[in-house]
A and B are shown apart, each in its own frame.
Chain A
């Protein structure tokens, strides 16, 4: 006879799940559904007149070359930021993991930028790199290099990439450091005894064993550059010059919030949502296979 305790009620599991479900529905599904609904409407800024237009907002969007430009900008921006912030923070974490003096001091300092809000990070970098009055740009100009993010799109892109990377390094650093510390010392010591160089030890042992962390960070970083960097862009370049730094999420903000075009903006955020869902699915389906847990 079965002695296992079972709960007959069908309601109980749902009841226990309810708080979590409620939060998910209210804060995730409801806004998402609203965005989809809004994307089928053309409305004036005050919401006084509304017209249901099916896919017209999407059609207009795809008929504009600016949208595809912004897509390309986003791809460049996100891959550069994700690559730079991951590699730099891995480098820093590996260095901080060594037996050095004041290690905890370095670690604390490296974590600090994470506490800075994106818009403030943007303003800080703007102060340093503002073409005529910025501290750093004055020295760059003194060296004879014509630094001008106000007109030169590449310079502006470099500026937002620097600010966005700097902001994300501490987060990545924290995870890499934790990942490094969980790698058994014995494995590394064994390979050291076998005569493997530090470089070889890193690439054949540390890096593969870190792959779950790296994979997780890759997902998080992509989401970060897609969504959380608009504060930085808004504060430093405002998407300019000539749309050179306008990413998809900044365009959503710009068209909807500043321009009052809610339908077009909603259509863009729906596309963005689909893109990120797709990207994450691909990452879990294919990249995760290469991860060694």
Chain B
């Protein structure tokens, strides 16, 4: 074989093998899902890639939620952002304000010519990720809400009826005292995500403002309001109960959730996304119930708001790539797929059709615990105070607030002092954010 013909053969060969790869457009998807949820992400991408030939979704795990967001921001600054980035709900305001960096989902779907009806999505879910005018900016992916997880065996041991879970905070405090007397002396009840549950969801559930301007949705010039008598009373109750461990502080994130599955804390208020973990690891009978409320607050309980994450499409990509992303989102919104995702992972369905389908199948009769967060989210028509939260610098603010709550629980500050300080520090962050976005 002469050298030339060898080269020619090589070319022909490489052309043969690389043609399909060249024609495929790659779509990078950065996510923060671990364990069983990571498998869900990988499987979705595999199914999509197998379903068509033009696009290939490539998933990369980038660490925790803040890590993923920071990796995406750093990549954007370096000029090579991924196409799709999973961002937790707390980062929503930051992403929304970054107008040049993102591509609004609704706009993208329209440009790509994909059928897209924003009304097909559950308003409680899509509302969180839409502008005040109702334009969907990011694609809801894994959504959850706050529920109260109950160790039924512990309840029986303490002479309580798990079929009648505590409805109000005072009820819960009484039950926790009984549980403590029945041997759960290290922890009567606990909450994960200390600020999400005891400030954010707490405000929404009681229809009181966390901050002005509809919790920031209507404007960046929002001011925090969670040092009200109701908030102070709640924190004072927690501080009092912390003294003898009827309530036991379990950290700022969800690392304390293991205390429930290990049987140490018989009541844990945390995300409904905890479902998979409870199902796999709890060696006792369990159930869940809506969050408690204070009965003296008129109109409580209102409705709850979301946790979890959504998918943001980054700006500055090619039209063909956007077309692929749009196709992928249509693939994700498919009713059967949504219904299956919901029943497998425990995250909420995002379309009305999927919710109706699961409901009609009778699934909730045998699995009522997957419906609890949905019932909470849709409990009442959302108000100014319960549509959602949109506060800039929220990641840092949550730490500020948690620090002040920790100071109160440790007895270093009074509940009023702690919440006043948390509001003051938070407002400084809000003003700093307002300054960078309105320039």
Contacts and interface: CB of A to CB of B under 8 A. Distances in A.
The answer to whether A and B assemble together is: yes
Interface of A: 42-49, 51, 132-133, 141, 150-153, 238-243, 254-255, 257-261
A45 B99 CA distance: 12
Contact of A46 (B73, B251, B435): B73
Interface string B358-400: 0000000000000000000000000000000000010110010
Interface string B389-414: 00001011001001110110110100
A151 B396 contact: no
A242 to B, nearest CB: 4
Contacts of B264: 132-133
A151 B249 contact: yes
Contact of B77 (A47, A49, A261): A47
A241 B399 CA distance: 10
22 contacts: A42-B435, A42-B436, A44-B98, A44-B437, A45-B73, A46-B73, A46-B77, A46-B100, A46-B101, A132-B187, A132-B256, A132-B259, A133-B258, A150-B249, A151-B409, A240-B403, A242-B412, A243-B403, A257-B70, A258-B395, A260-B73, A261-B432
Contacts of B101: 46, 48
Q: Which 10 residue pairs across A and B have the least CB separation, nearest first?
A: A259-B396, A44-B436, A242-B406, A241-B406, A242-B407, A242-B403, A46-B98, A46-B101, A49-B439, A47-B77
A152 B410 contact: yes
Contacts of A45: 73, 94, 98
B275 interface: no
B414 to A, nearest CB: 14
B436 A43 contact: yes
Interface string B200-222: 00000000000000000000000
A133 B406 contact: no
Given A49-B436, A152-B410, A260-B393, A133 B259 contact: yes
Nearest to A255: B396
Given A44-B97, A46-B73, A255-B396, A151 B432 contact: no
A49 B187 CA distance: 48
B76 interface: yes
A133 B407 CA distance: 23
B162 interface: no
A238 B256 CA distance: 14
A240 B406 contact: yes
Interface in B49-101: 66, 70, 73, 76-77, 94, 97-101
Contacts of A47: 76-77
Contacts of A260: 70, 73, 94, 393, 395-396
A150 B410 CA distance: 10
Given A239-B399, A240-B402, A260-B73, 18 more contacts: A46-B77, A47-B76, A48-B99, A141-B186, A150-B251, A151-B409, A152-B410, A153-B410, A240-B406, A241-B410, A242-B406, A255-B396, A257-B70, A258-B395, A260-B94, A260-B393, A260-B395, A261-B396
